Structure 1
Amino acid sequence: MNHNAAPTSSRNSAARLLRSGALLLTALVLGMIGTCSPRSSGVDEIRKTGLLRVATINSPTVYYIGPGGEAVGLEYDLVKALADRLGVRVQLDVAATPGEALEMVRSGRDHMAAASVLVTPERQRQLRFSKSLLQVVPQLVYRNGSDAPKNLGELRGTLRIPRQSALQEYLQQLKTQQYPQLRWETSDEDSGEELLFQVAEGKLDYTIVNSDLLAINLRYYPKLRAGIDIAAPQDIAWAFPDGGDDSLLREADRMLEELGGAELARIKDRYLGHIEQVDTYGAQTLATHAETRLPQYRTGFEKAAAKYGLDWRLLAAIAYQESHWDTSAVSPTGVRGIMQLTNSTAELMKLENREDPQQSIMGGARFFRLMLNQLPPSVTEPDRSWMALAAYNMGIGHLLDARDLARKRGGDANRWLDVRNALPLLSKEQWYSKTRHGYARSLQTITYVGNVRTYYDMLVWLTGDRSTPQPQEDADADTGSAAPAVSDKPVNPLNINSPVL
Structure 2
Amino acid sequence: MRMRLLTRVIIFLLSTVALLSCKKQHVEKQVDFWENTVELDLDEIKKRGFIRAIVDNTSTSYYIYRGRRMGYEYEMLRNLSKDLGVNLKIFVASDIDEAFRKLNEGKVDIIAINLEKTADRTDLASFTKATNEIRTVLVQRNGEEGTVQDLKDLEGRTVHVREGAVYKKQLQMWKDSLQLDFRIKEMPYDSEGLVNLVVQKDIDFTVVDEDVASVNSNYYPQLDVSLEISPASKVGWAVRSNSTKLLAGVNKWLTTFNKSSYQAILYDKYFVNKTNSYFRSNSPFSSISGNRISAYDEMIKKAAEGIGWDWRLLAALIFKESRFDTEAISYAGASGLLQLMPVTLERFGVSDPNDPFESLMGGVNYLKYLDKYWQKRVPEVNERIKFILASYNVGHGHVDDAWRLALKDGYNPSEWDNVAIFLKQKSNPEIYRDPVVKSGYAKGHLAVNYVEDVYGLFESYKVLVEP
Residues 35 and 114 (structure 1), Cα distance of their counterparts in 2 relative to 1, 3 Å cut: closer
Match of 1:217?
A: 216
Q: Are 1:80 and 2:78 an aligned pair?
A: yes
Q: Deviation string for 1:332-384 (max 9, x for gaps)?
A: xxxxxxxxxxxxxxxxxxxxxxxxxxxxxxxxxxxxxxxxxxxxxxxxxxxxx
Structure 2 residue matching 1:60: 3-state secondary structure: coil
Match of 1:127?
A: 125
When the two structures are superposed, what TM-score results if normalisation uses the length of structure 2? 0.53
Aligned equivalents of 1:100, 1:213: Cα separation in 2: 21
Aligned equivalents of 1:500, 1:121: Cα separation in 2: 37
- Within the candidate set 243, 250, 253, 1:252 is matched to 250
Q: CA deviation at 1:457?
A: 4.4
Residues 207 and 235 (structure 1), Cα distance of their counterparts in 2 relative to 1, 3 Å cut: same
When the two structures are superposed, what TM-score results if normalisation uses the length of structure 1? 0.49
Aligned equivalents of 1:154, 1:271: Cα separation in 2: 33
Match of 2:108?
A: 110
Q: CA deviation at 1:464?
A: 6.0
- 126-135 or 162-171, larger mean C-alpha shift: 126-135
Identity of aligned residues (%): 23
Residues 35 and 153 (structure 1), Cα distance of their counterparts in 2 relative to 1, 3 Å cut: closer
- Within the candidate set 68, 71, 76, 2:69 is matched to 71
Residue correspondence of structure 1 range 184-333 to structure 2 within 5 A: 184-188=184-188, 190-242=189-241, 244-259=242-257, 260-275=259-274
Structure 1 residue matching 2:213: 3-state secondary structure: helix
Match of 1:150?
A: 149
Give me the CA root mean square deviation.
4.0
Q: Which amino acid aligns with 1:171?
A: L
Match of 1:467?
A: 294
Structure 1 unaligned blocks of 5 or more: 1-6, 10-16, 276-450, 476-486, 491-498
| Contact map agreement 2:100 2:124 (CA 8 A) in 1 | no
Residues 54 and 168 (structure 1), Cα distance of their counterparts in 2 relative to 1, 3 Å cut: same
Residues 40 and 56 (structure 1), Cα distance of their counterparts in 2 relative to 1, 3 Å cut: farther
Q: CA deviation at 1:184?
A: 1.3
| Contact map agreement 1:97 1:191 (CA 8 A) in 2 | yes
Aligned equivalents of 1:198, 1:464: Cα separation in 2: 18
Q: CA deviation at 1:82?
A: 2.2
Q: CA deviation at 1:256?
A: 1.2
Residues 37 and 174 (structure 1), Cα distance of their counterparts in 2 relative to 1, 3 Å cut: same
- 461-470 or 49-58, larger mean C-alpha shift: 461-470
Q: Which amino acid aligns with 1:241?
A: R
Residues 76 and 464 (structure 1), Cα distance of their counterparts in 2 relative to 1, 3 Å cut: closer
Q: CA deviation at 1:51?
A: 3.1
Aligned equivalents of 1:109, 1:128: Cα separation in 2: 16
Aligned equivalents of 1:208, 1:454: Cα separation in 2: 21
- 120-129 or 225-234, larger mean C-alpha shift: 120-129
| Contact map agreement 1:61 1:116 (CA 8 A) in 2 | no
Aligned equivalents of 1:130, 1:111: Cα separation in 2: 13
Aligned equivalents of 1:93, 1:465: Cα separation in 2: 20
Residues 219 and 488 (structure 1), Cα distance of their counterparts in 2 relative to 1, 3 Å cut: farther
Q: Deviation string for 1:298-354 (max 9, x for gaps)?
A: xxxxxxxxxxxxxxxxxxxxxxxxxxxxxxxxxxxxxxxxxxxxxxxxxxxxxxxxx
Q: CA deviation at 1:208?
A: 0.8
Q: CA deviation at 1:36?
A: 8.2
Residues 123 and 262 (structure 1), Cα distance of their counterparts in 2 relative to 1, 3 Å cut: same
Residue correspondence of structure 1 range 334-413 to structure 2 within 5 A: none
Q: CA deviation at 1:456?
A: 5.2
Q: CA deviation at 1:80?
A: 2.1
Match of 2:172?
A: 172
| Contact map agreement 1:128 1:240 (CA 8 A) in 2 | yes
Residues 159 and 35 (structure 1), Cα distance of their counterparts in 2 relative to 1, 3 Å cut: closer
Q: CA deviation at 1:61?
A: 2.3
| Contact map agreement 1:142 1:227 (CA 8 A) in 2 | no
Structure 2 residue matching 1:247: 3-state secondary structure: helix
Structure 2 residue matching 1:137: 3-state secondary structure: strand
Structure 2 unaligned blocks of 5 or more: 1-7, 11-15, 297-323, 330-334, 339-463
